[in-house]
A and B are shown apart, each in its own frame.
Chain A
Amino acid sequence: MITAERKPLEEIIECIRPYDRILLVGCNECVTVCAAGGRKEVGLLASALRMAFMKEGRTLEITELTLERQCDPEYVEELVTMIDAADAVLSMACGCGVQEVARRYKNKPVYPAVNTKFMGASVSQGVWAERCQGCGDCILGLTGGICPVARCSKRLLNGPCGGSTSGKCEISDDVECAWQLIWDRMKELGIQDRYEEVMVAKDWRTSRDGGPRKIVREDLA
């Protein structure tokens, strides 16, 4: 899923300071799962903002709504009945959702209330970690199901580097060495001999380096 973290309250307040009426929009998908911008977080942020404005002697009118999926035009359309009553939209969706709202409601300012972080998986309660960079040409079949592009700090395709120590990355004890994981898994699968095959220079065109990407499915379009 796409993970996100709420921005600091002060930063959000600065964004919406010029406005009196805010439409605060959450999303019921990824940001709900990672507890950053679902219905619950929308409620918490709305209360925090009201209190902060009250302390300044101002009243902030906040309309709260959590859409099923903010990156989908069909659901973003639901805002049409309430958009005129708001001076600005504060979105708690990932960057995709924020942009979809901006695209649909051209004359309405939209501000992000979260920082979109990465595509990741849940490691344990309250912990998420990066797993995929969306390079567009998956090599997990060659690396034992562990992605060096996303999980090696230097995205080395022929690691590990000389900084791997006791299974940890040189940048931090909190970061596992992806190539240690890959090697362990290769041994587990009995495919260690594949390690010495050089992984050739990657074609990054399928990644962000090739320009903004798009999928067109003729069969569905």
Chain B
Amino acid sequence: MKTESVLEKVLTSGQLAVTSECGPPRGALPDKVREKAAMLKGYVDGINVTDNQTAMVRMSSLAACIIIREMGLDPILQMVTRDRNRLAMQSDIIGAYAFGINTMLCLSGDHPKFGDHPMAANVYDLDSVQLIQTVKQMREEGIFQGGDKILNPPQMFIGAAANPFADPFELRVARLAKKINAGVDFVQTQCIYNLDKFEKWMEGICDRGLDKKVYIMPGITPMKSAGMARYMKNRVPGMDVPDEVVKRMAGVPKEKQAQEGVDIAVESIERLKNVKGVHGFHIMAIEWEQIVPEIVKRSGLYPRPEL
């Protein structure tokens, strides 16, 4: 074991891990964080806390992680390199670890153009791969990116994102290999709706033996409506929603579409469970955290292991 992370314990035990996510509120509402996290209690091994997702200002991931940690749960600190330079990021990592947060996800983040502060400077002192490298160096060598020694270095279990559907597709396996070279421990993917293409990506990964070097957790997002399916298909960069999924959502009456979305999510998990190299699932129910327990239960992933 590299860290004290519960997620690491579950993954190394060989059991399928489950994570979910919680987007912090757009204001100082700690109870909102508690309410969302409480819905996930007992159903997941880690709760991702997003970092100014879609480039909109929200309560900081670190603050929300601390709130969740104080509930006795296991937050996963998401960190984008868009908003802060290496000084700020490393100090936040130390701060997080000081509060018992031991798992994080290194991301580049959406461009400010998509958010509510398109006029903001985008920092990108580091990119996501370099952030992985930095956190690994902090953990393994006990030194800062700048080279100085850290007192009680943070032992973070290091995650990253992967999007099997972005272009160029032929580069997507190599890109994961690069993150592995940088030192990533686990990977959560973009929402998977095109299962065939995901499986093709996984094949490429297994062919190179990369599945032995990193834990891969496909992302699962239940869709609430046919409208959401169309929006994800047409508007979200790097998202691959096949026509048949949109058709299936649109093929049921409006009031039953949410249920259909959950069914699709459960069926996807059932199918992907058997794919070589899949080590768990990252269930991102966007502003719909209360549905996660049902998905976890119906997918046979409940109860979560006690380790």
Name A residues whose Cβ lies closer than 8 Å to a Cβ of B.
153-167, 170-171, 177, 180, 183, 192, 195-201, 204
Interface: B174 (CB within 8 A): yes
Bound complex: CA A195 to CA B166 (Å): 17
Question: Total contacts A to B, CB within 8 angstroms?
Answer: 96
A201 touches B134 (CB 8 A): yes
Give min CB distance, B65 to chain A, whole Å.
23
Q: Which among B133, B134, B237 is the interface contact of A163 at CB below 8 angstroms?
A: B237
Central interface residue in B86, B162, B166, by most chain A CB within 10 Å: B166
Q: B108-167: which residues lie under 8 A (CB-CB) from chain A?
A: 108-111, 113-114, 122, 124-130, 133-134, 145, 161-163, 166-167
A165 in contact with B111 given A154-B124, A158-B127, A201-B133 (CB within 8 Å): no
Central interface residue in A153, A156, A162, A171, by most chain B CB within 10 Å: A162
Number of chain B residues close to chain A: CB under 8 A: 35
Interface: B178 (CB within 8 A): yes
A-B contact pairs, 8 of them (CB 8 A): A154-B122, A155-B124, A157-B129, A157-B130, A159-B127, A170-B237, A198-B129, A198-B133
A198 in contact with B178 given A162-B161, A170-B238 (CB within 8 Å): yes
Name B residues whose Cβ lies closer than 8 Å to a Cβ of A.
82, 86, 108-111, 113-114, 122, 124-130, 133-134, 145, 161-163, 166-168, 171, 174-175, 177-178, 181-182, 190, 237-238
Q: Which among A156, A177, A197, A199 is the interface contact of B167 at CB below 8 angstroms?
A: A177
B168 touches A201 (CB 8 A): no
A156 touches B168 (CB 8 A): no
A164 touches B174 (CB 8 A): no
Residues of A contacting B114 with CB < 8 Å?
A: 170-171
A200 in contact with B122 given A154-B127, A162-B163, A183-B171 (CB within 8 Å): no
Bound complex: CA A83 to CA B124 (Å): 44
Residues of A contacting B167 with CB < 8 Å?
A: 160, 164-167, 177, 180
Residues of B contacting A192 with CB < 8 Å?
A: 174
Bound complex: CA A131 to CA B294 (Å): 51
Residues of A contacting B168 with CB < 8 Å?
A: 160, 164, 180, 183
